[in-house]
Amino acid sequence: MFLIDSHCHLDYEPMASDIKGTLRRAMDKGVNGFLTICTDLPKIPVVMDIAESHDEIFATIGVHPHEAQKTLSEKELFKVLTTEATRAKVVGFGETGLDYYYTHSPQQDQKKVFKAHIEAALECDLPLIIHTRDAEEDTIEFLKTIGKGKARGVIHCFSGSSWLRDQALELGFYISISGIITFRKAEALREVVKEVPLDKLLVETDAPYLAPEPYRGKSNEPAYVVETAKKLADLKAVNFNDLCDQTTQNFLKLFSKVILPCA
């Protein structure tokens, strides 16, 4: 069995202070690959240090929509993203997207920053990690117009509608499932996820957030992605080991720059 946590924030506490322990607990459970996701440019040195000092950890570079207001201009951001992408451990861009639920940054700023990520993804042929909340239509519109339908990537922590699922799949995007799927009240989400083809599914923790049951309320960590994978295997009515293998294959297909030490 081999599982990959396709989205975690290893630079966030309490994981950052105990990377060794975090990795050991994950590997004890069969979680052997990690994608640590950058959320803002000042975090790049820390995120890259974590990735570059561990063979099993890969990184993305990006500016979260919450941080869009205070980042670089579109042009400067494109430059930083495409430059950072030349590093071996940078395997994607994000997390990026649109969040009209919190709107911590004005929509206009979010759109500019999202556009820069999509253009960088096309330029470097790297996948996008998409965060979308209460902004499904604009997100798809951007992927179709700016991304010209050619940008590839994943809808991370999927919690959207069947419409978003179908649109994303049509664009060739993957759907990443978080611990939310284990929550008792997430029946509607489980119905939407059930119809995602097996070869389009990824699993993630979004650690330190969103710990799955039975750890809900605790700080999340990559070891717990096992609970999400178990729930997903049940939902898709497939063997747990097969689900692990399939999501690993999917991850490696999407993040084609990743070379795992023992896969």
Give the per-residue SS3 of 191-221. Answer: HHHHCCCHHHEEECCCECCCCCCCCCCCCCC
Piece in contact with Ni ion (CB under 5 A), picked from 137-145, 169-177, 200-208, 238-246? 200-208
Identify which of residues 229 and 236 has a Cβ nearer to Ni ion in the complex: 229
Each residue 155-194 as x (binds Ni ion by CB under 5 A) or -, in order, gives: ----------------------------------------
Quick one: which segment of 26-34, 49-57, 185-193, 205-213 binds Ni ion (CB under 5 A)?
205-213
- Part of the chain binding Ni ion (CB under 5 A), chosen from 44-52, 202-210, 215-223, 233-241: 202-210
Local structure of residue 37 (DSSP, 8 states) = -
For Ni ion, which stretch binds (CB under 5 A), given 26-34, 75-83, 203-211, 235-243? 203-211
CA–CA gap between residue 46 and residue 43 (Å, rounded): 6
Minimal distance in Å, beta carbon 67 to Ni ion? 12
In the numeric block, the tokens 């069995």 are attached to 1
181-184 LR contacts (CB < 8 Å, sep 24+) = 181/212, 181/228, 181/231, 181/232, 181/235, 182/212, 182/213, 182/216, 182/227, 182/228, 182/231, 183/212, 183/213, 183/216, 184/213
Segment interacting with Ni ion, rule: CB under 5 A, options 44-52, 163-171, 201-209, 225-233: 201-209
Selection from 156, 226, 228, 221 nearest residue 13 by Cα: 221
Residue nearest to Ni ion (CB): 206
**Residue (101 or 148) nearer to Ni ion, CB:** 101
Q: Tell me the residue type at 211.
A: A
153 in Cβ contact with 175 (< 8 Å) = no
Q: Minimal distance in Å, beta carbon 178 to Ni ion?
A: 9
Q: Which of 119, 206, 221, 227 binds Ni ion (CB under 5 A)?
A: 206
Distance of closest approach, residue 237 Cβ to Ni ion, in angstroms: 28
Q: Tell me whether residue 206 or residue 227 sits nearer to Ni ion (CB atom).
A: 206
Residue 56 or 206: which CB sits closer to Ni ion? Answer: 206
Give whichever of 65 and 147 is closer to Ni ion, judged by the CB atom: 65
Residue type, 120: A
Q: What is the C-alpha separation between 116 and 245, in angstroms, rounded?
A: 33
- Name residue 178's beta-bridge partners: none
Q: Which residues bind Ni ion (CB under 5 A)?
A: 206
